[in-house]
Structures are given as structure tokens and as C-alpha cells.
Amino acid sequence: MGPMVWKVLGTGSAVLAASVAQKLVTKGWEIASGKPAPDDPNHPEDTTWKEAVLFAALTGLAVSAARVMATRKAAQYYAKSAGHLPAAMLKAEGKAD
């Protein structure tokens, strides 16, 4: 496996996880609050400050956590398949040439 495989696997899994997390936060917001999630939390007439900040915080936390989990699982799969971590991760750790 090479760097291109890791780019596709790592990036693809992170993007997919972020998309799913965003949808889950939106659906959870609708269930918990009983009203639709803010279309644009930045718009001052569409949502209150409290709602905008809370929605942004929940979304940021969920998306970031999902991306980390997906990237770690992708790296584990890559390492199991190739016998080593992706070169990009080895360089980050100072273990690559």
C-alpha cells in the first residue's frame, strides 16, 4: 500500500464520518428541542445567541470526534493490511526517513 491509498482511505473515512456526525447532530437537535436545527446559526434573526453557540459547539465536538475515530480506524486497517502505519503518520512521529 502506498501514500495514495492512505490519502483516499484516511480522507474518505474522515469526510464520511463528519457527514454522518453532522446529520446525527441535526436530527438530535430536532428531537431534543422540538424545532428544526438552525439553517444558518450565524444569521442573527434566525436563531438566538444561546442556540447558535450550543449548536456550533455540539456540531464541532461531534464532527471532530467522528473524524478522529474514523481516521484512527482507517490507520489500524492500513497497518493490519500493510504491516506498518501509513508513511504520513510515521513522519509525524519522526520514525520515517
- The pLDDT tens digits for 56-92 are 999 999 999 999 999 999 999 999 998 988 888 887 5
For CA atoms 46, 48, 54, 57, the dihedral sign is positive
Inter-CA distances, 39 with 14, 52, 64, 75, 85, Å:
23, 10, 20, 34, 40
Domain spans in the chain, listed from the N-terminal domain onward: 3-93
Cell of 37: 436545527
* pTM, to two decimals: 0.81
CB-based contact 14:95 (threshold 8 Å):
no
Residue 96 has pLDDT above 60, yes or no: no
Please choose, from the candidates 63, 40, 67, the residue with its C-alpha nearest in 3D space to the C-alpha of residue 51: 40
